[in-house]
């Protein structure tokens, strides 16, 4: 006998044994054992997201994530063009860790958006899983309800020696109170406020619309938010939005001479598409320029002025005799300058110089906040060039390094400028979010301020049995129930306690 025949015999023996067991169980009056049906993958996923604990867990995780995003300001709200430096400088090591973990842009991270998507899936499945059966049960509810069930209602009354006339009068009274009436032979069902039973699902729909509005941010061109820092006279392209911004002038005023309390800061801004100016406005706080659904706000400014250019005078240090002047552009310095009989060659230029005993000399940024210039000065009477520093914002360092300097370098005139911080916001999904908020509020009103009320009446053996039910506000239902009963001369009743 080959292997296949042995296998078939074993299958046949197993089947005979199962049949015999089933027959014995049947003979003994036992219920047949039903095989356990395994759930498919789709059904398992459905049951998982339909679970209330799963939904609560997702909401809890979203709450934790949202809280993490509020520990420090998000990147798009900080008053600095250098986020990494800002978080460390303002909040110390914890701020640096916050930035490194990506929490400075929490609400656009993949894990946060994934949680929002999982919440949306849960809302859809829960709404279908519970809402559809509720709709079917209400649609198919019987008019001719059994008397035993009516007598078990929390609101119940009866009238002896009643007939169709009393039931019709009861129906008319309820109809005047905006109940919808359905009748069958010897039975009546009056109902109003069915929609509030679906209030929770209306809230779900509103939340799903809000989530859809949030995910429109992933559509290119629909969402943009950022801080743009522009020097006076500079034009900065905003590639994501297809236009450029130019700072045509910045005004800064203080309340006090010590410049500790800012009175106002305003910018003359122009919008360019290519080389064509398409919009201009004098921006003040809370009065934005709106261009192509983009709001351009005056948001901040850099409190530290930057050096633009100036006239520098060269003097003999011993006699303080002027030897000449030259023009220095701090954004575009020349390799060397001719001053009378002297030549000044730029050896090193640090726009924002820092001197540290461990790190040496370096620049903290590319912007000329605190320039440091090292010159080689050559001229008549010098076999070798004289090397020296000029640090207008740190003269004490210059003097410390320049004990043997043969020349002095001083400003005759200097122009400084500020950098303005403009906040750009474009969010085409906002109308969708507002719509979702409106739907959610409507659902909340349905849930908390309206009730689903039903009254059943049934004639049996000359007795009119009347029962009432509501999903909430039993006191209000009790009053309405008694007013309806008064037309058929039935004494007021009180609802039963649970």
Summarised one tens digit per residue, pLDDT across range 44-100 is: 899 999 999 999 999 999 999 999 999 999 887 787 777 888 898 889 999 999 999
- Return mean pLDDT, the chain: 87
410-422 pLDDT, tens digit each: 888 888 888 899 9
- The pLDDT, as a whole number, for residue 2 is 41
Averaged over 181-187, what is the pLDDT?
A: 93
Averaged over 291-310, what is the pLDDT?
A: 89
Nearest 5°: phi and psi at 343? -120, 130
- The pLDDT, as a whole number, for residue 37 is 66
When pLDDT is cut at 50, 70 and 90, the band that residue 133 belongs to is very high
437-465 pLDDT, tens digit each: 999 999 999 999 999 999 999 999 999 99
Regarding predicted confidence, which is higher, 32 or 424?
A: 424
Averaged over 404-411, what is the pLDDT?
A: 85
Residue of 183, 197, 228 lying closest to 426 (CA atoms) = 228
17 pLDDT more than 60: no
**Fold classification of 156-192+451-498 (topology level):** TATA-Binding Protein (3.30.310)
Lowest-pLDDT range of 253-267, 282-296, 477-491: 253-267
Cα Rg of the chain (Å, integer) = 41
Regarding predicted confidence, which is higher, 318 or 420?
A: 420
Give dist(CA 120, CA 88) in Å, integer: 36
Residue 285: count other Cβ atoms within 10 Å of its Cβ: 12
Give dist(CA 14, CA 11) in Å, integer: 5
* Domain edges within the chain: 42-128, 156-192+451-498, 223-304+420-427, 306-412
- The pLDDT, as a whole number, for residue 26 is 43
459-468 pLDDT, tens digit each: 999 999 999 9
- The pLDDT, as a whole number, for residue 383 is 77
Cα→Cα distances 67→33, 61, 115, 236, Å: 52, 10, 14, 34
pTM of the complete model beyond 0.85: no
């Amino acid at each position: 006998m080959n292997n296949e025949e042995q296998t078939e015999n074993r299958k046949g023996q197993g089947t005979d044994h199962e049949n015999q067991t089933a027959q014995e169980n049947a003979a003994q009056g036992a219920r047949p054992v039903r095989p356990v049906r395994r759930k498919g993958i789709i059904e398992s996923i459905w049951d998982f997201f339909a679970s209330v604990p799963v939904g609560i867990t997702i909401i809890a995780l979203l709450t934790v994530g949202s809280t993490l995003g509020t520990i420090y300001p998000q990147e798009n709200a900080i008053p600095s063009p250098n986020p990494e430096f800002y978080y460390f400088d303002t909040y110390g090591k914890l701020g640096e860790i916050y930035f490194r973990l990506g929490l400075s842009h929490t609400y656009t991270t993949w894990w946060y958006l994934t949680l929002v998507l999982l919440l949306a899936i849960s809302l859809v499945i829960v709404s279908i899983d519970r809402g559809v059966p509720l709709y079917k049960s209400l649609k198919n509810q019987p008019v001719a309800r059994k008397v035993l069930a009516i007598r078990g209602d929390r609101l119940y009354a009866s009238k002896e020696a009643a007939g169709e006339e009393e039931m019709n009068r009861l129906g008319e009274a309820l109809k005047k109170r905006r109940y919808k009436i359905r009748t069958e032979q010897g039975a009546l069902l009056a109902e109003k406020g069915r929609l509030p039973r679906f209030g929770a699902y209306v809230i779900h729909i509103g939340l799903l619309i809000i989530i859809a509005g949030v995910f429109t941010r992933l559509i290119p061109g629909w969402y943009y938010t950022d801080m743009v820092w522009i020097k006076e006279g500079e034009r900065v392209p905003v590639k994501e939005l297809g236009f450029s911004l130019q700072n045509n002038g910045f005004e800064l005023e203080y309340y006090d001479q010590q410049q500790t309390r800012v009175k106002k800061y305003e910018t003359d801004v122009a919008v360019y598409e290519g080389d064509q100016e398409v919009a201009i406005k004098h921006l003040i706080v809370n009065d934005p320029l709106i261009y192509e659904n983009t709001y351009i706000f005056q948001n901040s400014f850099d409190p530290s002025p930057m050096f633009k250019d100036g006239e520098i005078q060269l003097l003999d240090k011993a006699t303080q005799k002027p030897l000449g002047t030259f023009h220095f552009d701090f954004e575009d310095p020349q390799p060397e300058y001719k001053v009378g009989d002297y030549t000044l060659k730029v050896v090193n230029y640090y726009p924002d110089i820092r001197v540290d005993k461990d790190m040496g000399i370096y620049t903290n940024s590319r912007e000329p906040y605190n320039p440091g210039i090292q010159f080689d000065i050559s001229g008549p009477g010098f076999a070798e060039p004289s090397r020296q520093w000029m640090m207008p914002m740190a003269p004490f360092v210059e003097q410390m390094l320049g004990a043997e300097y043969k020349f002095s370098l001083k400003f005759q005139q200097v122009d400084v400028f500020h950098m303005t911080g403009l906040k750009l916001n474009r969010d085409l999904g906002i109308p969708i979010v507002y719509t979702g908020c409106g739907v959610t509020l409507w659902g909340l009103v349905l849930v908390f301020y309206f009730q689903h009320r039903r009254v059943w009446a049934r004639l049996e053996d000359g007795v009119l049995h009347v029962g009432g039910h509501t999903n909430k506000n039993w006191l209000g239902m009790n009053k309405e129930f008694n007013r309806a009963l008064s037309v058929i001369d039935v004494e007021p009743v009180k609802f039963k306690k649970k």
